[in-house]
Amino acid sequence: MGAAYAVVTAIGADRVGIVDDLSAAVLEARCNIEESKMAVLGGDFAVIMLVSGDESALGSLSRSCPSLGDRLGLRIECRSTGAPAPGPGRPYFLSAVSLDTPGIVHSLTALLRRHRVNIEDLETDTAAAPWTGAPMFRMRAHVVVAPGVSLDELRAELARLGHEHDLDVTLSPVFPAAERSG
C-alpha cells in the first residue's frame, strides 16, 4: 500500500523553536514532511505542510493535533489530501511590482482566473522604496497556464492591467524551452 497524505496547518504567536517542535511531532508520528511554507506575518507564525505516511501514522498525527496545539500554543489542523500530481499546463513565474495600493492582488488574480491560469504558489510583501520611502508592493507567483490558453492574449491583458495600475508585471516560463515548443 502506498503513502497517504495530509495537509497540516498551524498558526500562533511567533517564538523561537516552533519549526523544531512541529517537525519533531511529525517525525514522532512516523510521518515525513514533503513540502512546507512557513512565515512570520505580523507577530504570528504560520505554517502549511504536506506530510506523508501510512494511514495509521497520519491518523495518529491527526489525533494528536488538539493536544499538540495546546502544548505549543498553536491552532493546528490536519486534513487528508491526495498525492501530489502535476496538472496539465505550462509552468510560469509571474512577478509584479508597484506602489502599494489596495486591490492589486485581486486585479491580478481575477485576470489569471479569467484566463484559466492556476496559482500554485503566491507571495506578496511591501517594503519602503530605497530613496523615497514610499510603500512598494511586490508579488511573486508560480502559475500554470492551461492548455489552449493564448499566451499572446494573456500577456496583452497583463500589459493593459500594468498600464492601468502602474504595475511592472512580468510573466516568464519556468522552463524557457516549454514556451518555444508549446
Per-residue pLDDT of the chain (182 residues; tens, 9 = 90+): 679 999 999 999 999 999 999 999 999 999 999 999 999 999 999 999 999 999 999 999 999 999 999 999 999 999 999 998 877 899 999 999 999 989 999 999 999 999 999 999 999 999 998 889 999 999 999 999 999 999 999 999 999 999 998 999 999 999 876 444 44
In total, how many domains does the chain have? 2
Residue 100 and residue 64 share a domain? no
The domain boundary residue, chosen from 57, 81, 105: 81
| pTM: predicted TM-score of the whole model, two decimal places | 0.83
Residue 103 and residue 170 share a domain? yes
Residue 171 and residue 98 share a domain? yes
Residue 66 and residue 43 share a domain? yes
Residue 177 and residue 94 share a domain? yes
Q: Which residue has the cell 491580478?
A: 108
- Helix spans in the chain (H): 18-28, 55-72, 104-114, 151-165, 176-181
